[in-house]
Amino acid sequence: MPFQAEGAFYPLTHALGQSYLAASKTRRTDRRPLEEGIKCGLHGDLEILRFSWKEGADRNPRPAQDPFWSEFKRRWQPTSDFKPSERLSAVALVKRLAYRVCQRSVGHPLGPFFQEAETFPSTTEMALADWFQQVENTGFLEEFREVTPDRWRRILAQVVHEQEADTPRPEKEPEIHPIRPEERHAARALLSRLQQAGVPVRDEDKYYAILLMDGDRMGKLVNGETLASRWETVLHPSLVERLRHPGFPAPYRNFWEQELAAPRTLAPSVHAAISEALGDFSLYTVPAIINRHRGRLIYAGGDDLCALLPASEALSAAREIAEWYNRSFIFIPEATEGDELPQSLTDTWFCAPGRLAVHLGRGKDISISAGLLRGVLLAQVRHFVRVLEEDASYQPFVLR
């Protein structure tokens, strides 16, 4: 049988492939033919979806007279999914309606993210998260909840925004659900009562955070330069003990002593493990942390993430995500959803339905960086000052 040595050359071929791909970025060629016709509102190089052209038909109709889109929007619910003038390509339409597919597909990994999430909270609603908690503690919400039991935060935030910005009622905006007169009256009455009770909307309540995080030096990790595992840590302990046995001849024992202490060689299985670890991190850990901190995830893919959070939660969420990024073994229960974090395994573990997995663990240059909107940091400082004034024993953390 001929000797198969593909694995031995994997690090070299991978390095050559990476170099070629990096060099090809400077000389990009797009072989896709140019699409003619009306262009998509999100992808300007793609043509919108349309019916086949009929002889003599207007090939540049206004959005309201477009045969395909006028009929499509007439039948589609909810109407807030599309603006009146919006026309999309096939790619953009798939992105826009993906949440409906994820909601209805049993067992889809993105299903929990889109449950009861057909609308995204406004920035005002996100910023007022701490204030909402104070409002709930006053006990003034009972009458208001009777008027609007399921969406009181959205309505209250919209009325606050209109008062603060001194803007007319945006009833005709398709992205904003209209507020009924009785709801608006109840919201204004509640705001007046809260003002008299000393629970007004303060300046620090008007800030929200945009959190961006990205893994550091991922290229070095993928290329095997920062792999922390050694052969002695990935081989079975019994085999390691056998290779170091005093009964082995000294030349063999000395050889294996050096090899076992060497870093693990880059291989397809290593890349598969890195990919799976980053996938579990973005699918299970990050969404749970963002939910626990009352935020909303915009995207999480591998080592990248973007989320909106209340200003007071931004730094603590970033710190917790950074800590979990460097966890090792974890356990994902069979029915993980919402804000339930995977279990971090450090010592003993009792078998249960679910899946054992890993994150990237600790190693040289294995870390993740975070960025926050500058104005949010001021709101965060104000939050800490207020907490310190109320509780002298509070100890703020340092994000490294």
298, 370: one domain: yes
Q: What domain range includes position 243?
A: 233-263
Q: Which of 108-117, 199-208, 330-339, 384-393 has the highest mean pLDDT?
A: 199-208
Q: Indicate if 197 and 132 belong to the same structural domain.
A: yes
pLDDT value of position 336: 60
- Residue 9 domain-assigned (yes or no): no
Are 281 and 359 within one domain?
yes
What's the rounded Cα separation, in Å, for the pair 137 and 134? 5
pTM higher than 0.85, yes or no? no
Note whether residue 2 is domain-resident: no
Question: What average pLDDT does this structure show over 104-128?
Answer: 75
The distance between the two most distant Cα atoms of the chain, rounded to a whole number of Å, is: 92
Residue 41 lies in a domain: no
- pLDDT band, very low/low/confident/very high, at 149 (cuts 50, 70, 90): low
Same domain, 201 and 289: no
Domain annotation covers residue 256: yes
pLDDT grade for 394, boundaries at 50, 70 and 90: very low
Structural domain contains residue 170: yes
**Do 101 and 175 belong together in one domain?**
no
CA nearest 337: which of 114, 129, 100? Answer: 114
Q: Which of 331, 337, 335 is nearest to 358 (CA)?
A: 331
User: Bigger pLDDT: 118 or 304?
Assistant: 304
pLDDT band at 318 (very low <50, low <70, confident <90, very high): very high
Given 3-state DSSP classes, what are the helix, strand and coil percentages for the chain, each rounded to the nearest 5? Answer: 50, 10, 40
Q: pLDDT, tens digit, for every residue of 41-74?
A: 899 889 999 999 888 888 889 988 999 999 999 9
Tens of pLDDT along 163-175?
Answer: 766 555 555 554 5
Query: CB atoms < 10 A from the CB of 245, how many?
Result: 10
Residues 174-222 have pLDDT tens digits of 456 677 788 888 888 888 888 888 888 888 788 888 999 998 888 888 8
Same-domain pairing of 158 and 295: no
In a domain, 353, yes or no: yes
Residue 398 pLDDT more than 50?
no
Q: Which two tokens stand for residue 251?
A: 């030349």
Closest CA to 129 of 373, 293, 321, 375: 293
What 62-67 contacts at long range (C-beta under 8 Å, 24+ apart), as own/partner pairs, is: 63/87
pLDDT at residue 337 above 90? Answer: no
Q: Are residues 155 and 294 in the same domain?
A: no
- pLDDT of amino acid 290: 92
- Name the pLDDT band for 397 (thresholds 50, 70, 90): very low
What is residue 38's predicted lDDT score, i.e. its pLDDT? 92
- Report yes or no on 186 lying in a domain: yes
Q: For the residues 122-135, what does the mean pLDDT come to?
A: 87
Whether 109 maps to a domain, the answer reads yes
Residues 180 and 290 in one domain: no
pLDDT, mean over the chain: 80
Q: Are residues 214 and 306 both part of a single domain?
A: yes
Count up the domains in the chain and report the number: 4
> Do residues 196 and 284 both lie within one domain?
no
Within this chain, do residues 140 and 107 fall inside the same structural domain, yes or no?
no
- Domain boundary among the residues 114, 135, 153 is at 114
Domain co-membership, 324 together with 213:
yes
